[in-house]
Structure 1
Amino acid sequence: MTKIHRRDVLKGMGAAAGAAVLAPSLGGAALAQSGGKVVVGTWGGDYAALLTKNIENPLLKPKGIEVVQDQAGDAPRRTKMVAEKRLPRGTVDIQGLSAANMFEMNEAGVTETLDYSKIPNAKNILPTMRYPYGIGHIYSGNVVIYNPKLISPVPTGFKDWLDPKWGNKIGFIDIQYQSVFIAASMAATGGASMNDIEKAKEVLLAVKKAGARIYPTNEAFAQAMKNEEIGISAIWKARVVQWQNAGIPCEAVSPVEGIPTYVSGFVIAKNAPNKDNAYAYMNAMLEKAPQEAFAVDMGYNGTVTGLAVAPDLQKRIGFTADEEKRLKDLDYAFLAKNDSAMKEWWDKVFKA
């Protein structure tokens, strides 16, 4: 498994990079486009609201571009992309997906090979967040989250989280099934593998038998943490920061087994009906202002250079030099190949 090294993830972070909107004559088709509509596939909840607040209303609405959000979990949105593959015009222009799911949709042949000349702000993007078929919007790492009042001693990693002794204080988020499999595999192998599905199943069945709880969404899970129904789980560090800001009693621990990275990004559908506006959306999301706003509002690290993030906030959402060495990129090919099997087992066995 390749690691995202500090020199890669943070390449160019010290360089100043202006991200102001260029005049249409200097940009590509994305900035020359004015008016019309763009349909954005995205999760609901906080992320959808912040897309509207930080990107759509301030940057696209003034250009006369009407943004329509198609809110749903990533699984049904991916299914729809594949189902619409043979149509000359699909129903969604741009899809918000994890890096693993962006890879999967590219393998399915339903994503546009990006023309980066149409995304002027892409010149500022971190090299590790630039894909032929998509762009990383924000990123974080998967960490153990716990309530110090309920969980003692302090956990050190995924193995401590997935210890049956915590019983019904162990929590899971339904939509995070892929990351749960990865964490369980790492717990079972001491960090040696993120792909040992069978050992992961053994770990998960043990905590299910102990009374672990499953919540349908991030928001439902957060409420359970707040009410102290549960006390330990794993989630992206950005979410821990969000919930701490909301007064939810929780702390984060970077797992000793390694820190799987999470990248949330966007792809353009190959048969997008409003392709120029999809490019405009991608360009807008890479502007300096919304990138900084997502760090403040959602606790995620930005994917472009030259951001002005307060040092105290950067300390909370980022990672130390030692932790950065433990950041692990995911095996997207493996996840694409095994996603259906993992989801089927999760739904029919683990949730049953």
Structure 2
Amino acid sequence: MTMTLNRRAFGRGAAALGLATLAAPAYLRHAHAQTKELNVWAYDGFITDGLRDRFEAETGAKLNIRMVTDQGEMFNLMMAEQGNHSADIVTCAGHRFYQFIDAGLLAAVDKGRLTAWDKILPEYANAGWVSRGGQDWGVPLVVVATGLLYNTEMVSEKPESWDVIFSEGFAGKTSYQLQNFMPIVMDYLGHDGSGVSYAGDTEAAQKAVNAARDFMIEHKSKVRRYYEGPTEVQQMMVTGDIAMAQASSGPSSQLIIDGFPAAFTIPKEGGQAYAYGFNVVANAKNMDNAYSFLNMLLSDPVNGAEIVRSTGLESTIAGTADQLSEAERAALALSPEERARLSWVNVETAAFIFDLVDAAAEEVRAA
């Protein structure tokens, strides 16, 4: 997933009054005795300029940010470091972090240090995908929903089904990301896109994936282009090259907030959801600063609001909605019925089904 998003700085705090040292919470004061830097690998927009400036002002530690564009690339880089990690915090997708855990790259969350854990909305703090082996492995930060983005001036009625993206009426006016769309197509055809029901039955899973593959090849002539990054789908929407696309909630919300005539929905056959979070690296060199940063991030819903504005994604930080305008809340909103159609990507079966999906997607591309 590539996050190419606008940064919007914000600033506040006691430093403006010359009280930063006296007012700093205990978890920040403690960090002063530690090393003077923190290294974070993050997607664009996950750390605003204002948050970085505030962290540096209140801790005296320099925050170094390395932009992430791909989970696989990040995994390979961390493996190549052979335990001598250059990052203290990394950004893992909730349905992919099992790879990092099983490879020994991450540290379990220390609730004694992460005192602001209760600032995460319970829906996400208590979610099954946060845990593995009875331990929590990261701070859920933003939630991604995958559904149908459409131009309201080109599509006269709100689509109720994924039928529309395969219809003759919109041939050449649709787009989707192959790997992300295939599990949705599996659900559309009556199979299990999550792969949960196929655990331990590779033959049944392969049959379901093959059905989606064959269907997508059959309808390949109707898609204008397979896209890779969110800016591609945004550009095609703005230029009028497409009328609709399978897309994530981030780029969709940004278009809506910016005033483009678009809407986002979860069709009746369903969509998928997953989260991105910050994960502390095993044996991080700047462990105390890592927890100071995470506590600061979670302790102020203004941070959540700024992340929403810079990514278009829903924040997990409690109180964020109160910091948003009515228009911003509306752009993020899904009806209860639409939210109920979302299936969370399952951590335990993700590796098993993704391997099959990735291979099948390449077959669709080559057909």
TM range (shorter): 0.7 to 0.9
1:169 is matched with 173
For 1:107 and 1:165, locate their aligned partners in 2 and report how far apart those are by CA, in whole Å: 47
295, 304, 309: which one pairs with 1:291?
Answer: 304
Range moving further from structure 2, 122-131 or 22-31: 22-31
Q: Which residue of the partner structure matches residue 354 of structure 2?
A: 339
C-alpha distance in 2 between matches for 1:42 and 1:207: 36
Aligned counterparts of 1:158 and 1:285: Cα–Cα separation in 2: 38
Of 74, 80, 83, the residue aligned with 1:83 is 80
Retained in 2: the 8 A contact 1:162–1:203? no
Instruction: Check if 1:282 corresponds to 2:294.
Output: yes
* Amino acid paired to 1:300: L
Specify whether residues 88 and 96 from structure 1 end up closer, same or farther in structure 2 by C-alpha distance, changes over 3 A only: closer
1:181 aligns with 2:163: no
- Displacement of 1:275 in angstroms is 2.4
Q: Report the equivalent of 1:92.
A: 87
Q: d(CA) in 1 for partners of 2:356 and 2:182? A: 11
Counterpart code for 2:113: K
How far, CA to CA, are the matches of 1:55 and 1:163 in structure 2?
A: 46
Contact in 1 for aligned 2:150/2:263 (Cα 8 Å):
yes
Q: TM-score, normalized by length of structure 1?
A: 0.79
Please show how residues 308-323 of structure 1 align to structure 2 within 5 Å. 308=322, 309-323=324-338
Unaligned runs of 5+ in 2: 1-13, 15-19, 131-135, 196-207
Q: Deviations over 1:154-179 (max 9, x none)?
A: 32233433446533222124xxx543
- In the superposition, relative to structure 1, how do residues 36 and 170 fare at CA in structure 2: closer, same or farther (>3 Å)? same
Deviation of 1:25 (Å): 6.6
2:55 corresponds to which residue? 59
Identical counterparts, % of pairs: 18
Distance 2:28 2:98 in 1: 25
Residue 5 of structure 1: aligned partner? none
1:288 CA displacement: 1.7
Change (3 A) 1:92 1:83: same
Structure 2 equivalent of residue 242 of structure 1: 254
SS in 2 for 1:291: helix
Residue 133 of structure 1 and its aligned partner are, at CA, apart by 0.7
Change in CA separation of 1:91 and 1:346 when aligned onto 2, cut-off 3 Å: farther
Q: Matched residue of 1:168: which SS? A: coil
> Structure 1 residues 252 and 217 mapped into 2: Cα distance closer, same or farther (>3 Å)?
same
AA partner of residue 59 (structure 1): F
Distance 2:227 2:34 in 1: 42
Mapped pair 1:133 → 2:133: no
With normalisation by structure 2, the TM-score equals 0.76
Spell out, residue by residue over 1:40-89, the C-alpha distance to the aligned partner (whole angstroms, 9 max, x if none). Answer: 2233xxxx1451325323334542322222223222112222333xx342
Runs of 5+ in structure 1 lacking a partner?
A: 1-19
Q: Is 1:150 aligned with 2:154?
A: yes
Amino acid paired to 1:147: N
- Cα deviation, residue 249, structure 1: 3.5
Residue 289 of structure 1, CA deviation: 1.4
Q: Distance in 2 between matches of 1:68 and 1:348?
A: 40
